[in-house]
Structure 1
Amino acid sequence: MNLLFIADPLASFKISKDSTLAMMRVAQEAGHQLWFCESRNILWRNNFVVADCQSLDIKPGGTTWFELGSVEDRPLNTFSAVMMRTDPPFDIEYLNTTWLLSAAVRQGAKVFNNPTAIRDHSEKISITEFPELIPPTLVTRELSAIEVFHQEHQDIVIKPLDGMGGMGVFRVGPDALNLASIVETLGENGARTLMVQRFLPEIMQGDKRVLLIGGEVVPFSLARIPQGSEIRGNLAAGGKGVAMPLTDAEIKVAERLAPILNARGLFLVGLDLIGAYVTEINVTSPTCFVEITEQSGFDVPKFWLTALEKALA
């Protein structure tokens, strides 16, 4: 198969734990031809969505871990599959890329995840479709609504809708210290919508990333455990990643959501669970393949490739 990966610059990859690189390696080892481009290299040209892309060869190790061929102009519908693996933020240019990819899908391209499904699933607001699975949650621009929510729940977490890696996450305890200031700053005085949730003490056991691939559940999570006085478990915020078998409660939640999301074209999903509560549904470029594989022995990249080959059969 010819597999195109749309991703961030290869030189920016953290080669010891990059999930996209893990996908590339396992696909190449299975005999598939790899291609690479950045989102800026996706164009509408001569009535087709094309990629100014390069063949990609992954090297066994060393500082020069990849080799790229010369640039070729190829319609996206000539690839066996196209993997959209550009990291957030989900800004206007990310949105523009999804529109181009949707046009490619109409021309017969097979894009994972489906770009229309990505647009329809805000990684934070999408949890509201499953209210029985989420903690008490408020989505608003209004300080007054947040103040009422705080009075009811006393201990809350406030975060921007477009944040990633734990960026901009604040906890406000019963004393409501700096509540108005935090809301005004994060919400840019009412210009930006915020998500507010009841603080979940289970975060101290980890903010767990559960991977759903091709409608199936990876049986291990990566618990991202806050360190010291930090409340954020995100690895980017200094959390410690520990692979753990899924609990019965986590399996129940994951097995309920996996077939629903897969049917919509969300082939690879990263659920974030605190306790048994769903806090986010990540669909842009879910990670943690390498950490789960190395710590549990369950080969996530191979599981991903098997599911992809099945989806393309």
Structure 2
Amino acid sequence: MPLTVAVQMDPLDSINIAGDSSFALMLSAQARGHRLFYYPPEALNYADGRVWAKAWPVSVQRVKGDHFTLGEPQSLDLGEEADVVLMRQDPPFDLGYITATHLLERIADRTLVVNDPASVRNAPEKVFVLDYARFMPPTLITRSYEEAKAFLAKHGSIVVKPLHGNGGKAIFKIDADGQNLSSLMEVFNTAWREPHMVQAFLPDIAQGDKRIVLVDGAVAGAINRLPGKGEIRSNLAVGGSAEKTELTETEREICAALGPELKRRGLIFVGIDVIGGKWLTEINVTSPTGIVAIDNFDGTDTAGMIWDAIERRVAEQSGG
């Protein structure tokens, strides 16, 4: 049955259609006959129990520079006129993002929101992962220079990163001599009110960091992301490159541990990051990426798997 799908995302004209996961999801939905609307997160409105957005009917095509066409904008009631809302805007996971989850939660009993907005709000990438600390590298959450200094003395080289950062931004390696740690903590404490994540540096990062995609709790595929020359960050957005990969036994164990909880929480599309075949570093639930690269290497259809899961959920929610 054709669905009405509202996609909440960043401006369409700014995406890279060659690798953008949101665009791949839109192409897949359109191919299935679903009707697509686009709106930016700031277009959300609420009054008298209704949540609506100024939204544009949209059609998409894989043509660089001419990849979308917008119709006339309309006021789209997301609780009554949409079957699915894809919440796909990029982080930062700030108060604007959190407010959007609160508004969309008010329609979640009538419209399927992917990923579930309450679960997205309660599972920020670098905090939710603490539930699976047995798979993580040594980790400290702090704003304290003294605590970070003691952690460095215990573990040697460390990595310091924002707790709610994204895309490999603002990740710093501090070597055993501690040079610049004090200044870095001062900068971080000025820039962010929340504590920061400090982790033991993993030399295995030179061999890459694996992005594993899970769909409704099941493994859909993975890529290995290699850091660029002179970099410790392997995110594709900061110059990393992707290669085909297989899962290790420990990675399968990690996925088996996470899968049932992701499914229970309504986190249909999730990307986890694993270093060295065994160290879980993030559980990405806000706007996961990587499905285009996975499909290019494996010949799979991860977007189709996601839509299969969405369509099942819609049918269950409507009693069909």
- 1:104 corresponds, among 100, 103, 107, to 107
Q: What percentage of residue pairs aligned between the two structures are identical?
A: 37
Q: C-alpha separation between the residues in 2 aligned to 1:166 and 1:37?
A: 26
Which residue pairs with 2:258 in the alignment? Answer: 257
Q: C-alpha separation between the residues in 1 aligned to 2:52 and 2:69?
A: 22
Q: C-alpha separation between the residues in 2 aligned to 1:47 and 1:123?
A: 30
Q: Decide whether aligned partners of structure 1 residues 191 and 28 sit closer, same or farther in structure 2, where only a CA change above 3 A counts.
A: closer
* TM-score after normalising by structure 1: 0.95
Q: Decide whether aligned partners of structure 1 residues 191 and 18 sit closer, same or farther in structure 2, where only a CA change above 3 A counts.
A: closer
> Which residues in structure 2 correspond to 1:124-273 (within 5 Å)?
124-188=126-190, 191-218=193-220, 220-273=221-274
Q: C-alpha separation between the residues in 2 aligned to 1:190 and 1:34?
A: 37
Cα displacement (A) at 1:100: 0.8
Listed as ranges, the gaps of 5+ residues in structure 1 are: none
Q: C-alpha separation between the residues in 2 aligned to 1:111 and 1:279?
A: 26
**8 Å CA contact retained: 1:57, 1:68:** yes
Which residue pairs with 1:285 in the alignment? Answer: 287
Q: C-alpha separation between the residues in 2 aligned to 1:131 and 1:58?
A: 41
Q: C-alpha separation between the residues in 2 aligned to 1:191 and 1:76?
A: 33
Cα displacement (A) at 1:63: 2.1
Cα displacement (A) at 1:192: 4.0
Q: C-alpha separation between the residues in 1 aligned to 2:246 and 2:74?
A: 44
Q: Decide whether aligned partners of structure 1 residues 209 and 60 sit closer, same or farther in structure 2, where only a CA change above 3 A counts.
A: closer
**8 Å CA contact retained: 2:86, 2:114:** yes
Cα displacement (A) at 1:190: 8.5
**8 Å CA contact retained: 2:143, 2:189:** yes
Q: Decide whether aligned partners of structure 1 residues 10 and 191 sit closer, same or farther in structure 2, where only a CA change above 3 A counts.
A: closer
Q: Decide whether aligned partners of structure 1 residues 83 and 230 sit closer, same or farther in structure 2, where only a CA change above 3 A counts.
A: same
RMSD between aligned residues: 1.6
Secondary structure of the equivalent of 1:34? strand
Which residue pairs with 2:93 in the alignment? Answer: 90
Which residue pairs with 2:318 in the alignment? Answer: none
Which residue pairs with 1:68 in the alignment? Answer: 70
Of 78-87 and 300-309, more deviation after overlay is shown by 300-309
**8 Å CA contact retained: 1:89, 1:163:** yes
Q: C-alpha separation between the residues in 2 aligned to 1:39 and 1:214?
A: 24
Q: C-alpha separation between the residues in 2 aligned to 1:149 and 1:97?
A: 36
Q: C-alpha separation between the residues in 2 aligned to 1:56 and 1:79?
A: 14
Listed as ranges, the gaps of 5+ residues in structure 2 are: 316-320
Which residue pairs with 1:32 in the alignment? Answer: 34
Q: C-alpha separation between the residues in 1 aligned to 2:58 and 2:140?
A: 45
